[in-house]
Amino acid sequence: MTPKQINAFIHRLKLEWFKKHRSIPEYAIPVDKYDCDKANGLTKAILDTGKYLGGHTVRLSSEGRYRPGESYQTPAGKIKGKASWIPGTSKGISDIVMTLSGVTWFIEIKIKDRQIKSQKEFESKLSAAGGNYIIIRSFDEFIKLVESIL
């Protein structure tokens, strides 16, 4: 699909979804643009398409976060406490988890890059446990997955 076709396809799904779930006039529903040549754009397109098809999609994140130390005031001035790093979820976890028609898929988004070691280990463990894992490189690949589920 061309970028224009992808945008139109997702917008049609969005309009149908809004007719069923919200009472908003069609003209008030914004048209989103998806840049599926980039990982974030493809991820957003997959998340929205899964939702508008009646599925449940969640974007996962495995990075941790920095937690600055508590600051406190002394007569001599402001002093910061010790900062810390809070680890994230499992290393290598997929970018998206999508459940559609009772089938759950762990979806890894890769445009030009390749899986790193922790992602390969996650895929291996999930597959050994009977889970569904797929690497998606384009919106067309995602549509083929959806068609195979539905």
Give the model confidence (pLDDT) of 67-79 as tens digits. Answer: 777 766 666 666 6
Which structural domain range is residue 9 located in? 3-149
Instruction: Give the whole-angstrom CA distance, residue 90 versus residue 125.
Output: 12
* Rounded alpha-carbon distances, angstroms, from residue 101 to 13, 15, 97: 16, 20, 13
Instruction: Give the whole-angstrom CA distance, residue 98 versus residue 53.
Output: 11
> Which two three-digit tokens encode residue 117?
């070691």
Mean pLDDT of the chain: 90
What number is the average pLDDT over the span 15-20? 92
Confidence (pLDDT) at 82: 74
Q: What is the pLDDT of residues 78-103, one digit of tens each?
A: 666 677 777 777 788 999 999 999 99
Q: Would you say residue 62 has pLDDT above 90?
A: no
Instruction: Give the whole-angstrom CA distance, residue 131 versus residue 98.
Output: 12
Domain count, the chain: 1
CATH value at residue 109: 3.40.1350.10
Q: Would you say residue 40 has pLDDT above 90?
A: yes
The position carrying tokens 């083929």 is 144
Q: How confident is the model at residue 128 (pLDDT cuts 50, 70, 90)?
A: very high
